[in-house]
């Protein structure tokens, strides 16, 4: 018996060390990448870099149009994806009949969240750029990205609603509230923290997307800030992609600086998401 | 006339029969306790009176359930019914809103917007729930910041605010400490003058303390129903005797 215990303890220790070293290994690689990026790009971060239009000369090139394009793209994406995604999530979680068809819909939406983004690009190219005649415009990009993040919003909305205790719903029904009163006044407000977190995470997913936008024909060189939904556009990841593929060393530096900005924006968004989640969970201590 | 009455009531969850042929009459302005071991159907029975079982799939109900002599499954709109027959649940379930908004929830969903009416009703209900003095200065604080016992009294105030005539309580004190429990019990005794109260409890002493009549359920059947004093001192059935003296269950 003692011998068995000794072996168990050894195994325990072994797996702890294994897990620790693998974690450290993963973090190290990440660290190397980060240090490398900052080493190359940090010196390039100055006002001109933010404020200049793209250029053939690396030292004159800036990310103004890429940032502007990205922000307007995100704005339109969110306007399109949010209402549909949230309402679909509410419907699936609170309203749908629990039959086979609903089950199939449910599984397929979860699968959609895992479809490679370039597939959405191809869909967007045919559906929005060509059939709907939007061309390679901001709007076509926004619709494509909206399709891409909608499953994430739906799934996270459902998870947030699922976490609302049944006792709250019963409390509301017990007062004579209708389904919609219960959902809109009790269930959704209780789940708002989780829903917001999901939205922000889906936005940070959309920020990093390059492939579907390239497929639908987002330009790599846009010397103007988009002024309306029908304008052509570029985004920061595309700009970075473009710079990386140039032969001049100066563009590599630009790319590194662009990556730093992109990382900061993503960190910021994720940080906000975590902050909201923690604050909400503290408030909703069930 | 009975406030609540059932005749040959049966309840099925799918194939499983949870209540068997139950006939009972509950007098107005009394406290009636439903007792019995877990799974005996007392909570299920309680939930039939405001049709909370409608929320569970695959339930079938037959026989008649009467409120003031009218069948609640035939005549009443369910939303109206639940305003007349309020319910307090086992676990305090205040909404994540302020104390004030919790108490007037039922008025809000009825579209009442008049500030004076809302304030007046909130105060009255909180007084009825014996909570007013403790929270009158913090009405805008979150109801979730209160203690469990206070939360449960917020839930009681919320139920009383829509002026029901019947209040159903499903083990309202089982998640609370003894002092909070005593407060809830005092409250039940007070409320009797204005409401008809039916309470499900696992606590024999509680049933003996607060109720006028007691119904003992076992395996979905109503074994015995009479004055509380008689159930606890001189029950007719041996099974009741064994249960109330703690020999089984």
Tokens of B2: 């009975």
Q: pLDDT at residue A281 above 80?
A: no
pLDDT-derived band at A125 (thresholds 50, 70, 90) equals: very high
* Closest A-chain CA to B57: A98
ipTM of the complex: 0.89
A80-116 pLDDT per residue, tens: 999 999 999 999 999 887 778 888 888 898 888 888 9
Interface test mutation site (partner A, options B96, B110, B163, max chain A beta carbons within 10 A): B96
Average pLDDT over chain A, rounded to whole? 88
Q: Name the H helices within A91-177.
A: 100-112, 117-124, 138-162, 166-174
- Global pTM? 0.82
Specify whether the CB–CB gap between B100 and B140 falls below 8 A. yes
Specify whether the CB–CB gap between A102 and A192 falls below 8 A. no
Q: Which of A173, A178, A189 sits opposite B96 (nearest CB)?
A: A189
A255-280 pLDDT per residue, tens: 999 999 999 988 998 888 888 888 87
B85-88: strand order across its sheet: B85-88, B166-170, B196-200, B31-35, B213-218, B221-227
pLDDT-derived band at A64 (thresholds 50, 70, 90) equals: confident
Q: Using CB atoms and an 8 Å cut-off, which of residues 1-20 of chain B contact chain A? A: none
Q: Is B12 left (phi over 0), alpha (psi -120 to 50) or beta?
A: beta
Yes or no, beta carbons of A185 and B109 under 8 Å apart = yes
In three-state secondary structure terms, B228 is: helix
Yes or no, beta carbons of B81 and A171 under 8 Å apart = no
pLDDT at residue A22, as a whole number: 96
Query: In the 8-state DSSP scheme, what is residue A42?
Result: G
**Dihedral angle, C-alpha A161, B94, B122, B116, nearest 10 °:** -20
Q: pLDDT at residue A285 above 60?
A: no
Q: pLDDT at residue A57 above 70?
A: yes
B79-97 pLDDT per residue, tens: 989 999 999 999 999 999 9
Task: Find where tokens 């061309």 sit.
Answer: A135
Q: Name the H helices within A58-137.
A: 64-90, 100-112, 117-124
How far apart, in whole angstroms, are the C-alpha atoms of residue A151 and residue A159? 12
What average pLDDT does this structure show over A171-200?
92
pLDDT at residue A105, as a whole number: 87
Helices vs. strands in chain B: H and E counts, helices first? 11, 10
What average pLDDT does this structure show over B220-245?
91
Average pLDDT over chain B, rounded to whole? 91
Any B CB within 8 A of A129 CB = no
How far apart, in whole angstroms, are the C-alpha atoms of residue A26 and residue A43? 27
pLDDT at residue A283, as a whole number: 66
φ and ψ of B69, to 5 deg? 85, 0
Within 8 A of A102 by CB-CB distance, chain B residues are none
What average pLDDT does this structure show over A178-193?
92
Specify whether the CB–CB gap between B66 and B2 falls below 8 A. yes
How far apart, in whole angstroms, are the C-alpha atoms of residue A111 and residue A155? 10
Tokens of B159: 């139920």
Specify whether the CB–CB gap between A50 and A67 falls below 8 A. yes
Yes or no, beta carbons of B97 and A181 under 8 Å apart = no
pLDDT-above-70 percentage for chain B: 98
A126-166 pLDDT per residue, tens: 999 889 888 888 899 999 999 999 999 999 999 999 999 99
Any A CB within 8 A of B144 CB = yes
Do the bridges between strand B59-67 and strand B70-71 make them parallel or antiparallel, or are there none, so unpaired? antiparallel
pLDDT at residue A1, as a whole number: 64
Q: pLDDT at residue A286 above 60?
A: no
Q: Which of B79, B89, B93 sits opposite A176 (nearest CB)?
A: B79
* Residues forming beta bridges with residue B60, ordered by sequence position: B12
Q: pLDDT at residue A223 above 90?
A: no
In three-state secondary structure terms, B34 is: strand
| Chain centre distance of CA A240 | 18
How far apart, in whole angstroms, are the C-alpha atoms of residue B168 and residue B46? 7
């Amino acid at each position: 018996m003692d011998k068995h215990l000794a072996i168990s303890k050894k195994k325990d220790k072994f797996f702890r060390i294994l897990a620790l070293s693998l974690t450290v290994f993963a973090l190290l690689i990440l660290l190397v990448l980060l240090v490398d990026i900052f080493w190359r790009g940090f010196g390039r971060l100055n006002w001109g870099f933010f404020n200049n239009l793209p250029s053939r000369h690396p030292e004159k090139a800036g990310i103004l149009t890429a940032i502007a394009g990205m922000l307007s793209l995100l704005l339109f994406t969110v306007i399109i994806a949010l209402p549909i995604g949230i309402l679909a999530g509410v419907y699936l979680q609170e309203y749908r009949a629990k039959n086979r068809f609903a089950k199939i819909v449910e599984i397929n939406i979860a699968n959609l969240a895992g479809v490679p983004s370039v597939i959405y690009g191809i869909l967007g190219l045919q559906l929005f750029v060509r059939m709907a005649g939007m061309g390679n415009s901001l709007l076509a990009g926004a619709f494509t990205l909206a399709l891409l993040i909608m499953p994430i919003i739906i799934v996270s909305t459902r998870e947030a609603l699922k976490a609302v205790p049944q006792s709250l719903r019963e409390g509301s029904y017990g007062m004579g509230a209708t389904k919609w009163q219960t959902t809109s006044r009790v269930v959704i407000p209780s789940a708002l923290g989780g829903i917001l977190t999901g939205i922000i995470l889906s936005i940070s997913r959309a920020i990093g997307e390059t492939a579907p936008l390239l497929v639908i024909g987002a330009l790599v060189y846009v010397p103007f800030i988009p002024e309306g939904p029908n304008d052509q556009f570029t985004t920061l990841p595309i700009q970075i992609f473009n710079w990386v593929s140039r032969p001049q060393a100066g563009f590599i530096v630009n790319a590194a600086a662009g990556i730093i900005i992109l990382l900061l924006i993503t960190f910021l968004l994720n940080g906000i998401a975590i902050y909201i989640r923690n604050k909400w969970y503290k408030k909703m201590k069930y | 006339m009975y406030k609540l009455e059932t005749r040959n009531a049966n309840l099925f969850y799918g194939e499983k029969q949870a209540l068997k042929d139950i006939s009972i009459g509950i007098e107005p302005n009394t406290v009636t306790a439903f007792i019995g071991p877990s799974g005996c159907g007392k909570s299920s029975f309680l939930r039939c009176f405001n049709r909370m079982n409608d929320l569970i799939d695959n339930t079938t109900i037959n026989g008649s359930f009467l409120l003031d002599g009218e069948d609640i499954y035939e005549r009443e709109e369910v939303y109206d019914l639940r305003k007349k027959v309020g319910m307090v649940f086992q676990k305090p379930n205040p909404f994540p809103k302020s104390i004030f908004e919790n108490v007037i929830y039922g008025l809000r969903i009825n579209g009442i917007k008049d500030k004076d009416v809302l304030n007046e009703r909130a105060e009255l209900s909180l007084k009825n729930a014996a909570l007013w003095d403790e929270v009158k200065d913090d009405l805008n604080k979150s109801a979730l910041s209160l203690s469990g016992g206070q939360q449960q009294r917020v839930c009681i105030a919320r139920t009383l605010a829509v002026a029901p005539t019947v209040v159903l309580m499903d083990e309202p004190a089982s998640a609370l400490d003894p002092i909070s429990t005593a407060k809830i019990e005092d409250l039940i005794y007070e409320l009797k003058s204005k409401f008809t109260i039916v309470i499900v409890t696992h606590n024999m002493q509680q049933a003996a303390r607060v109720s006028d009549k007691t119904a003992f359920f076992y395996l979905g059947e109503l074994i015995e129903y009479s004055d509380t004093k008689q159930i606890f001192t001189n029950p007719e059935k041996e099974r009741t005797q064994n249960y109330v003296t703690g020999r089984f269950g």
